Amino acid sequence: MNENIPEMDFPIEEEKNPLGFLELIYGIIFEPGKTFQQIAERPPLNKVLIIFLLFQALSMVLFIAGGVFSKGFSAFSGAAGMGGTIKALLFIMAFAGFILSFVKWLMSSAVIFFLSDLLGGRGKSSAVLAVTGLAFIPAMIISPLQLWLILMGSHWWSYVLAALTMIGGWCWVIVLLIIGLRETQHLSNGKSIAVIFMPVVLVIGLVVLLLIGLGSILLPVMMSMPELAGGVY
C-alpha cells in the first residue's frame, strides 16, 4: 500500500553575505545603525584593519605634506639651512605616530569593551574593535580638506574653517562610536555615551589631582626660599 506523504518545507535561514569593502564604507557614512547591526555577530576585522591602516597612512602623508609645504617650513629651512634635517624629523615623527596609533587603537578598544561590559553590554570584544576602527572613516574623508584649508594660511578664514572642520569631524566620530556601541554591545544611548566619556572624565580628574598634588608639594618649597617668598609677597 503506497501512501503519499506530503513533503514539508522547513524554512532555512540563509546566511547573509558579508559586506564588501565599499559597502562597508558607504554603510558607515550613510546607514551606520544598520551597518553596525550587520557586523555585530561577524565583525569583518580584515576589512577594518585595511581601513584603519589606510587612514593612518593618509594621516602620515598629510602630516608630512603639511609640514613640508607650509610657508613656515619654507621660511625657516631656507634661513637656517636645515631643510633636510627637518624633513627627516617629520618622517620619524609621522612613522612613530603611525605605530602609536595602532597601539592606541587596541588599548582604547580594550578599555571601551571593559566599560561596556561593566554597564551590562552583551557583545563581542572583536565587535568593539571593529566599531573603534570604522568610526574614523569620517576623519579619513575630512583630513584632505583640512590640510588644504591649513595650506591656504594667508587667509584668516582658512584657519577658522579648518578648526570647524576638525570639530565637526570629531563630533561625527563620537556619534558613530555611540551608535556602534549601542548596536553591537546592546547598550542604551545613555550607557553608550557614558562608556565613551568615562575615560575622558577619568583622565581629566587624574590630571587635576596630579596638578593639585604637585602644587601642594612645590608651594611649601617655594615659600621656604627667601628670594621666592619675597617675590610672592
Instruction: Give me the mean pLDDT over the 114-134 stretch.
Output: 93
Q: Average per-residue pLDDT in the chain?
A: 80
Question: 27 vs 76, which has greater pLDDT?
Answer: 27
Check whether 229 has a pLDDT greater than 60. no
Task: Give me 116's grid cell.
Answer: 561596556
User: Among all chains, which residue has been given the C-alpha cell 524554512?
Assistant: 11
Q: Read off the pLDDT of residues 143-172 as tens digits, 9 standing for 90 and up.
A: 777 777 766 666 777 778 878 888 898 899
Q: How does DSSP assign 21-85, residue by residue? A: HHHHHHHHHH-HHHHHHHHSSS--HHHHHHHHHHHHHHHHHHHHHHHHSSHHHHHHHHHHT-HHH
Q: What is the predicted pLDDT for the residue at 128?
A: 95
pTM of model > 0.85:
no
User: Alpha-carbon distance 148 to 142, whole Å?
Assistant: 10
Q: What is the predicted pLDDT for the residue at 133?
A: 93
Distance of CA 196 to the CA centre of its chain: 11
Q: Please name the helix (run of DSSP H) or strand (run of DSSP E) that holds residue 140, with its range, or none.
A: helix 137-151
User: Alpha-carbon distance 135 to 132, whole Å?
Assistant: 5
User: Alpha-carbon distance 180 to 196, whole Å?
Assistant: 11
Q: What is the predicted pLDDT for the residue at 76?
A: 53
Distances (CA, A) of 146 to 58, 158, 162, 192, 226: 12, 9, 5, 29, 51
User: Alpha-carbon distance 198 to 206, whole Å?
Assistant: 12
- CB 139, CB 173: distance < 8 Å: yes
Q: What is the predicted pLDDT for the residue at 159?
A: 75
Q: What is the predicted pLDDT for the residue at 227?
A: 56
Q: What is the predicted pLDDT for the residue at 14?
A: 44
Q: What is the predicted pLDDT for the residue at 161?
A: 82
Q: Read off the pLDDT of residues 30-89 as tens digits, 9 standing for 90 and up.
A: 999 999 999 998 999 999 999 888 888 887 877 777 666 555 555 555 555 555 677 778
- CB 142, CB 164: distance < 8 Å: no
Question: 207 vs 66, which has greater pLDDT?
Answer: 207
Q: What is the predicted pLDDT for the residue at 29?
A: 92
Task: Give me 93's grid cell.
Answer: 615623527
Q: What is the predicted pLDDT for the residue at 139?
A: 80
Predicted confidence band of residue 92 (pLDDT cuts 50, 70, 90) = confident
Question: 76 vs 214, which has greater pLDDT?
Answer: 214
Q: What is the predicted pLDDT for the residue at 11?
A: 45
Q: What is the predicted pLDDT for the residue at 94?
A: 80
Query: Count H helices, E strands: the chain?
Result: 10, 0
End-to-end CA distance of the chain, in Å? 115
